[in-house]
Amino acid sequence: MTKIKRYQKVIYTSILVFCTVWCAAIIIAPLWHNETGFRGDASEYIYTFFSKSCHQIEGRSLNIAGEKLGVCSRCTSIYFSFLLGVIIYPFIRKLNNIDLPSLVFLAIGAVLVALDAGLDLFDIFKNTYITREISGAVLGVVLPFYIIPGTIRVFYEFFIPPKVIPKK
């Protein structure tokens, strides 16, 4: 069982490091935006990378150092809340618990984001920084509680012999 616990920690730590680097990139992009050389090139690459998944509209983005962050305010909220969820995860659940929580929690986060975006899209209710950040934060903070145990479960099913997979 010690070997399994080590893999759980490696998976958790990998997710934590990845999320930390991801969130750092969101902040680094505007801080290095007006730089030359490596920093300027890195900033441009980060903005381009994030543009594949985020609209990056100026009026819907938070700013730092006079430049917009690498992603819009909702995406910023989702990513940083996700990082918070990853950080608090081991204090709420054990890494060997590979059971997923009720999908109700995930649905609440997804519905809030969909409602906020949909009501704005159809001109029923104009969303604000607050509504975008709250809806994004709710979704972001619950996602790790599905992704971490899901990733550990996938690892178990592909790499651990069946006799050592924990039972309910």
User: 82: which strand partners?
Assistant: none
Residue 55: domain span = 2-160
Domain assignment of residue 27, yes or no: yes
Q: For 68, left (φ over 0), alpha (ψ -120 to 50), or beta? A: beta
Mean pLDDT by 10 residues, the chain (168 residues): 76 97 98 94 97 93 94 96 98 93 96 94 91 96 97 84 59
Whole-angstrom Cα Rg for the chain: 19
At 99-130, the pLDDT tens digits run 999 999 999 999 999 999 999 989 899 999 89
- Tell me the percentage of the chain whose pLDDT exceeds 90: 79
- Residue 112 CA neighbour count, 13 Å, CB half: 21
Domain assignment of residue 146, yes or no: yes
- E strand or H helix that includes residue 82: helix 73-92
Strands annotated E in 47-154: 63-64, 67-68
How many structural domains does the chain have? Answer: 1
Domain assignment of residue 168, yes or no: no
Report whether 50 contacts 29 (CB < 8 A): yes
Residue type, 30: P
Residue with tokens 């929580």: 101
Domain assignment of residue 37, yes or no: yes
- 156 three-state secondary structure: helix
Domain assignment of residue 165, yes or no: no
Helix axes 103-121, 129-142, angle to 10 degrees: 160
Any idea of the CA torsion for 111, 117, 121, 125, to the nearest 10 degrees? 90
Domain assignment of residue 110, yes or no: yes
Domain assignment of residue 166, yes or no: no
Residue 165 pLDDT: 56
Average pLDDT, the chain: 92
Domain assignment of residue 167, yes or no: no
Residue 156 pLDDT: 83
